[in-house]
Amino acid sequence: MTRLTHLDADGAAQMVDVSAKAVTMREAIAKGRISMSPEAAAAIRDGLVKKGDVLAVARVAGIMGAKKTSDLIPLCHPLPLSSVSIDLDLDATGVNATATARTTGQTGVEMEALTAVSIALLTVYDMAKAIDKAMEIGAVRLMSKTGGKSGDYRA
Amino acid sequence: MTRLTHLDADGAAQMVDVSAKAVTMREAIAKGRISMSPEAAAAIRDGLVKKGDVLAVARVAGIMGAKKTSDLIPLCHPLPLSSVSIDLDLDATGVNATATARTTGQTGVEMEALTAVSIALLTVYDMAKAIDKAMEIGAVRLMSKTGGKSGDYRA
Amino acid sequence: MTRLTHLDADGAAQMVDVSAKAVTMREAIAKGRISMSPEAAAAIRDGLVKKGDVLAVARVAGIMGAKKTSDLIPLCHPLPLSSVSIDLDLDATGVNATATARTTGQTGVEMEALTAVSIALLTVYDMAKAIDKAMEIGAVRLMSKTGGKSGDYRA
Amino acid sequence: MTRLTHLDADGAAQMVDVSAKAVTMREAIAKGRISMSPEAAAAIRDGLVKKGDVLAVARVAGIMGAKKTSDLIPLCHPLPLSSVSIDLDLDATGVNATATARTTGQTGVEMEALTAVSIALLTVYDMAKAIDKAMEIGAVRLMSKTGGKSGDYRA
Amino acid sequence: MTRLTHLDADGAAQMVDVSAKAVTMREAIAKGRISMSPEAAAAIRDGLVKKGDVLAVARVAGIMGAKKTSDLIPLCHPLPLSSVSIDLDLDATGVNATATARTTGQTGVEMEALTAVSIALLTVYDMAKAIDKAMEIGAVRLMSKTGGKSGDYRA
Amino acid sequence: MTRLTHLDADGAAQMVDVSAKAVTMREAIAKGRISMSPEAAAAIRDGLVKKGDVLAVARVAGIMGAKKTSDLIPLCHPLPLSSVSIDLDLDATGVNATATARTTGQTGVEMEALTAVSIALLTVYDMAKAIDKAMEIGAVRLMSKTGGKSGDYRA
């Protein structure tokens, strides 16, 4: 049976040892969506028309969240991120988020991309929750992963 | 039209002023789910049989994540959390997470509960990603909110 | 001679004991400015015309920085901030920052307001430094302080 | 017209991708000053005579602040700092701060040096504010920058 | 049999709910010691003679560590510390640390006092480890605890 | 006389410059123990029988603490940890902790291993303190250190 790499032979949690892994350029892309009422989406759009702060705040939160990944996910390795970018696309009933993370290091950046998406969408929730408490965050998943020994992945 | 409370009259982001709000006991419950292959779910279950670390790590990550909410969500107020608990329920194709957060303060704990759920599920992703990269986090939403002037909310 | 309150009788640093101080509403306003070349100011203005991210990023950084004040300034007390807002005003040769912080607590929020201004201006420096490395941050000072036993202060 | 590197083609904030940049040794030196009343400067000097904690606390705060730079400045890259040192020079009406930061990495350390200076001076403000609230932090600027493709810079 | 309060009926970790506890003034005092070679102790003493930075750095680290307690200890509640002070006493073969923490809140500050002692002593280790790697930290324990329903405690 | 490397010629604290040191694989192992009443040890053992959260929480706290080392110890360099593992061994009157940390970098990981041990044991204290406040943390020391120019060390 497949064993979880984050558990040792006794089942105790551990940070996987990456010291023997090659230092290569690695990239991961993740996506997610927050669904909301048309009224909430319109309020965000209205904010954009003025000064554009709404999605800008969510984008900054996602980028800063990506940098905190190893502080949030217990067994994640600290990584020298070489870039993070977040694309937020508002439509009539929600916001789609796409995050791209890159590093030159010994382990992948999937968790950084997924964390960026999650924190950006939670930030949208926070800013629109006075209008719509029933918003839902979903479809948070890895789209692709390149670099590293285990080979590339595409969803 | 409804205006976002986190934007001032010019559309600039701000932390809403809660200094005039009453100090009351407040609670929020949030839920979410990570869906995965039966193989990944079985590996987590196998880990549980041994020492139980898998869901324990995710639970701790969610609790610690709740305490970092105001550090992650830019316009969230820092809150003296009086309790956080996270229930993780593993089934054949995933894990359901339910987080309950409480405070006695001037503003609600929805974001703390939602952040706890998100970080706990991201931690499950991290621990099982060597087996299944196609896992998806979804249905992250607020179930209920009590306390505070705006009244109770049930999903 | 006047003694520093952050040193005990032996000169050792300490966090001043505020447990006997009254819980009152307190506010502090701080200002500062970053001076830059007309070219850098124009590039920021050009960015604003598009999507407004430049000053939005600095504003978010300042608000989040205010929440980290007690983590940055060794002898500062942790405070439940009830609001922080930052006004950034771009002119032909720089950006003026004004931060307002409020709490209901046992100690003042001068350091939170000053930290918000400093971090917001450092963020502007970061975003424009590829154009102008000679930018200078100055005039970072407290404008006013209200609430608390020691009385109000106006610069 | 010069474009800000931290904005993408649409004007959205991004962390600049440094993955193609060379890993070289880089150094940055920044300066700043806090001006104060002779009474406040004398109180700091008096503290030094005893146990020297005043400037020591500010120096530690600046060093620790430098290590938090990528957590404070949204679009800054996390960097493995190889050294930070801070020189604080007290005179009759204030304190001059000089910070030197070094790394072997893919991007410069200007922001680390500037952050170290800012946090050290804010810490001095905090410790002396009971005596003088009119202190002012200014002249925070980059003195030099070496290493990296864009060439050396001297103020 | 006595049950751990941090485990729920199923044995899952939880943050104990303190929302029904009274807000009272609470204090805790903790002690600890780092033992070292006379040579290491002499080097620290020599540093003191110059500028006093050695123990000052450890004292600052302990105070800042106390403020991070709820970020370090997973099930600890965030607390508005009203004061922390640390006394470090160097003798011929080591340093004794005593930390006093106070809050006005719903739960005790034992962990803050113990964390302050631990981080201060680890900082001494860090600064003297080039001279003596065999230093040992021990006798880290609670001396007293006052305030709160469970009554006072003296070691 | 031996001089502390963390003080400059004037006695001021500094982060030692490691930019000229070789990038090598480095490992450190540290140990420590918390002593407690048989009743407290039995309660932890009872918790283990159920769901195993007690030591799992302490293990996670130790791993996350290791990643925060440079944020806690003022003059420590930030390090890209390649692995951390913690072994916790419960006996009739306490818990022994052993932490192993590894990096490929320019400076050693002694402080990371010692911090992991300290935070794990403080977490045990926190979870059992309702049963036994007289627990004592001791024998926190470095067992071995390999890699780096200064040669290997064994206690």
Give per-residue pLDDT as tens, F6-44. 778 777 888 888 888 888 899 999 999 999 999 999 999
Binding-site positions of D read: 75-77, 111-112
Instruction: Report the sign of the C-alpha dihedral through residues F15, F21, F23, F26, in that order.
Output: negative
- β-sheet bridge partners, residue E135: none
Compute the distance between CA of residue E36 and CA of residue E42 in angstroms, rounded to an integer: 10
Query: F64 among the known binding-site residues?
Result: no
How confident is the model at residue D52, as a pLDDT?
Answer: 53
DSSP for residue B2: -
Using CA atoms, how far residue C65 sits from C70, C83, C122, D55, D146, in Å, is 10, 13, 11, 23, 28
- Which ipTM did the prediction report? 0.95
Q: Which two tokens stand for residue B96?
A: 């359901």
pLDDT for E7 equals: 78
Is B6 annotated as contributing to ligand binding? no
Residue B9 located in a structural domain? no
pLDDT of res. A100:
97
Chain C segment 75-104 residues within 8 A of D by beta carbon are 75-76
Report how far Cα E97 is from the mean position of its chain's Cα atoms.
Answer: 9
Per DSSP (E only), the strands in A17-124 are 24-35, 81-91, 94-105
pLDDT score of A148? 78
The residues of E annotated with a catalytic role in the active site are 126
Which amino acid does the sequence have at A75? L
F9 Cβ contact list (under 8 Å, min separation 6): none
Q: Number of B:C CB contacts under 8 A?
A: 53
The band of A1, judged by pLDDT with boundaries at 50, 70 and 90, is low
Q: Give pLDDT, residue F155.
A: 92
| Residue at E76: amino acid letter | C
Do D51 and E56 count as a contact with CB atoms less than 8 A apart?
A: yes
| Cα distance between residue E38 and residue E46, in whole Å | 12
Chain A: residue whose CA lies nearest to D10: A87
Confidence at residue A52, expressed as pLDDT on a 0 to 100 scale: 53
Cβ neighbours around B139 below 10 Å, total: 18
b (16+ CB within 10 A) / e for F95-122: bbbbbbbbbbbbbbbbbbbbbbbbbbbb
Q: What is the mean pLDDT of residues E5-28?
A: 84
Residue F2: band (very low, low, confident or very high) from pLDDT cuts 50, 70, 90: low
Is there a contact between B82 and E12 if contact means CB atoms under 8 Å apart? no
Backbone angles phi, psi at B127, to 5 degrees: -75, -25
Please tell me the least confidently modeled range out of B108-112, D74-78, E53-57: E53-57
Whether residue F1 lies inside any domain: the answer is no
What are the tens digits of pLDDT across the range A47-97? 765 555 789 999 999 999 999 999 999 999 998 899 999 999 999 999 999
**D49 assigned to some structural domain:** yes
- Do the chains contact at F63 and A106, CB–CB below 8 Å? no
Burial A78-111 (b: 16+ CB within 10 A, else e): bbbbbbbbbbbebeeebbbbbbbbbbbbbbbbbb
Give the side-chain half-sphere CA count within 13 A for D115.
28
pLDDT-derived band of residue B13, with 50, 70 and 90 as boundaries?
confident
pLDDT digits (tens, 9 = 90+) for E88-120: 999 999 999 999 999 988 888 999 999 999 999
Residues of B in Cβ contact (< 8 Å) with A7: 47, 50-51, 53-54, 127
CB pairs under 8 A between A and B: 201
Coil vs helix vs strand at C117: helix
Angle at B106 between CA B102 and CA B111, to 5 degrees: 50
> How close does chain A come to D23, measured CA to CA in Å?
11
Phi, psi of E61 (to 5 degrees): -60, -40
The answer to the question of residue E6 being in a domain is: no
Residue type, B142: L
Summarised one tens digit per residue, pLDDT across range F48-84 is: 655 557 899 999 999 999 999 999 999 999 988 999 9
pTM for the whole thing? Answer: 0.95
Percent of chain B at pLDDT > 70 equals 95
pLDDT of B2: 67
A63–D16 CB contact, under 8 Å: no
Q: What is the DSSP letter of F152?
A: -
D8, D17, D126, D152: the catalytic one is D126
- When comparing pLDDT for B70 and E148, which is higher? B70
Structural domain contains residue A130: yes
Do B148 and B21 meet the contact criterion of CB atoms below 8 Å apart? yes
Within 8 A of E131 by CB-CB distance, chain F residues are 2, 4
> Which pLDDT does position E36 carry in this prediction?
97
Q: Which residues of A touch F115 (CB under 8 A)?
A: none
Give the mean pLDDT of A119-126: 97
Quote the number of domains for chain A.
1
Dihedral Cα F35, F39, F44, F45, nearest 10 deg: 110
Contacting residues of A for C61, CB less than 8 Å apart: 60
Task: Provide the shortest C-alpha distance from residue F48 to chain A (in Å).
Answer: 12
pLDDT digits (tens, 9 = 90+) for E51-72: 457 899 999 999 999 999 999 9
Residue type at F134 in one-letter notation: A
For residue F47, give the nearest of E7, E111, E122 by CB distance: E7
Does D16 reside within a domain?
no
**In a domain? residue B13:** no
- The pLDDT tens digits of the residues spanning D115-126 come to 999 999 999 999
Answer yes or no: do B102 and E75 touch at CB < 8 A.
Answer: no
Instruction: Supply the DSSP symbol for E5.
Output: T
Average confidence score pLDDT of chain B:
91
Instruction: State the average pLDDT over residues B88-97.
Output: 97
The nearest alpha carbon in chain C to D65 belongs to C72
* Residue A53: per-residue pLDDT: 79
The SS3 assignment for B38 reads helix
Question: Any idea what the CATH number is for the domain that residue D28 is in?
Answer: 3.30.70.640
In DSSP terms, which residues pair with B90 in a beta bridge? Answer: B95
pLDDT score for A145: 95
Interfacial B residues in 102-131 facing A (CB < 8 Å):
110-111, 114-115, 118-119, 122-123, 125-131
| Residues spanned by the domain of F83 | 24-148
Candidates E87, E127, E82, E122; CA nearest to E105 is: E82
Q: A residues 30-69 near C, CB within 8 Å?
A: 51-53, 56-57, 59-61, 64
Given a cut of 70, the residues of chain C with pLDDT beneath it are 1-2, 48-52
CA distance A6 to E121: 31
Known binding site: residues of E?
75-77, 111-112
User: In the predicted model, what is the mean pLDDT of chain D?
Assistant: 90
Residue D49 pLDDT more than 70? no
3-state secondary structure F130-142: CCCCCCEEEEEEE
Q: What mean pLDDT comes out for the span B35-39? A: 96
Examine residue A137 and state whether it is found in any structural domain, yes or no: yes
- Number of Cβ within a 10 Å radius of residue C151: 8
Residue in chain A closest to B118 (alpha carbons) equals A118
For F122, which of E73, E134, E155 is closest by C-beta distance? E73
- Per-residue pLDDT at D22 exceeds 70: yes
pLDDT score of D51 more than 60: no
Angle subtended by helix axes E53-67 and E110-128, to nearest 10: 140
Mean pLDDT across chain E, nearest whole number?
Answer: 90
Predicted local distance difference test score (pLDDT) of residue A49: 56
